[in-house]
Amino acid sequence: MVGLFVLFIIGIVGWKIFTRLRFPAPDLLGALFLASALGIAGINFSFPSQEVTFVSKLVIGSYIGMMMDRKTISMLKEAALPALVVAVWMLSASLGTGFLLYSMTDLPLSTALLGSTAGGVSEMALLGLSLNADTITITLLQLFRVILFLVLMPFLAQWMSKKNNATIANPKAPNPSNPNGKVLLEKPSLKAFLILSLTAISGGFIGRALGLPAGDLLGTMLFVAVLSIMHPCLPQVHPLARSLARIGVGLAIAQQVTRQTIQLLSSIFVPILILAVAMIFSGLALSWILHKITGWDYSTCLLASSPGGLTQMSIIADEVGANPLLVSALHTTRLISILTVLPLLFRFLIA
């Protein structure tokens, strides 16, 4: 409990420092950088990562779910073609970068393919175990991918958002103070707050039980979205709660960064560099295609095309003024397609 309190204090300090420095997503990145620095220095605190991440996803999922109304449903229907493009592109890019990594390094084919796949860190590690691959290297490559895009994309998306402010607007971009454009209760009742909380918790547990990728986040989003459509007057998710949830996500990621992690990363610097460059160019190319197909704003297309974590890209989308609903929908398609198709393909290729 003491470690939880200390790390959240550190995360809040990082949030305030990064806010003063005008960094994008300062709560998430500030907590990640300061807590990672402690881990690299060998200073460790007990931290319940799974529990904190779960609660954080409940808060973030509730906030995104409350953006849903009948207009956004029709908007998401129009995202079917972009979702298909993202799924096919990510599947192809994962195979392409995997074979590139294999051809230019001494890594085994199984490690190269699983380490370069834009799937979940834990999912790829588990698949590596089932294929007798090098799970340590796979986890490090996956962790580097998530952190790379988590650090890079806020700055690039913010720059694109400012540069292209006059282009086609973000479709139904939510107002942070009133995400739905609904008439909100000035003083939401305790009953409304309890209903929202129970709905979010139920969605999170059911989504997790179904074994979906980021199931707790997606379940919360879906349940709260249905509630939001049925009941137009709901209490808002307080900005402080959102920031604390983002800090929790940053702290949880930082628990995987240690001195040993840095040493292992330095030993495979060349494959990591190859992987990073290939994924960045792949994401930029896909975002350009999405923008041409849909006319969505550049920030939304960029974040939807970035092979980072679903939760993290949704947080950044909200922070930089992109559309987190579209970003979440396309990343969900990416994860489901990768986790259903590639394992079968990998077993055939690696056998």
Looking up residue 241, the CATH number of its domain turns out to be 1.20.1530
Within-domain flag for 176: no
Highest mean pLDDT among 26-40, 206-220, 289-303, 306-320: 289-303
Give start and end residues of each alpha helix (H) in the chain: 2-20, 26-40, 49-65, 70-77, 80-104, 109-116, 121-130, 135-163, 190-209, 215-230, 239-254, 259-267, 269-294, 298-305, 310-320, 324-350
Residue position matching structure tokens 């994309």 = 153
- Given a contact cutoff of 8 angstroms between Cβ atoms, the answer to whether 15 and 30 are in contact is yes
Residue 178, strand partner residues: 175
- Given a contact cutoff of 8 angstroms between Cβ atoms, the answer to whether 24 and 181 are in contact is no
Within-domain flag for 312: yes
Q: Tell me: the pLDDT tens digits for 263-319?
A: 777 777 877 788 888 888 998 999 999 999 988 888 899 999 988 777 788 888 888
- Banded pLDDT at 25 (limits 50, 70, 90): confident
What pLDDT, on the 0 to 100 scale, is given for residue 110? 85
Domain containing 130 equals 2-170+188-350
Radius of gyration of the chain (CA): 20
Average pLDDT, the chain: 81
What pLDDT, on the 0 to 100 scale, is given for residue 236? 81
Q: Tell me: the pLDDT tens digits for 45-58?
A: 888 888 888 898 89
What pLDDT, on the 0 to 100 scale, is given for residue 344? 75
Within-domain flag for 39: yes
- Rounded Cα–Cα distance for residues 176 and 170 (Å): 14
Within-domain flag for 178: no
- Rounded Cα–Cα distance for residues 12 and 49 (Å): 17
Q: List phi, psi (to 5°) of 348.
A: -75, -40
- Rounded Cα–Cα distance for residues 340 and 351 (Å): 18
The token pair at 266 is 């330095």
Within-domain flag for 181: no
Work out the average pLDDT over 175-187: 46
- Rounded Cα–Cα distance for residues 124 and 121 (Å): 5
Within-domain flag for 177: no
Work out the average pLDDT over 20-46: 83
How many separate helices (H) and strands (E) can be counted in the chain? 16, 0
Helix axes 135-163, 26-40, angle to 10 degrees: 150
What pLDDT, on the 0 to 100 scale, is given for residue 232? 67
- Rounded Cα–Cα distance for residues 313 and 329 (Å): 11
Domain total of the chain? 1
What pLDDT, on the 0 to 100 scale, is given for residue 165? 59
Q: Give the predicted TM-score (pTM) of the model.
A: 0.71
What pLDDT, on the 0 to 100 scale, is given for residue 213? 66
Q: List phi, psi (to 5°) of 178.
A: -150, 80
Question: Per-residue pLDDT for 43 more than 90?
Answer: no
- Rounded Cα–Cα distance for residues 201 and 196 (Å): 9
Within-domain flag for 260: yes
Q: List phi, psi (to 5°) of 107.
A: -70, 140
Within-domain flag for 179: no
Q: Tell me: the pLDDT tens digits for 61-102?
A: 888 888 776 676 777 777 888 989 998 999 999 889 889 888
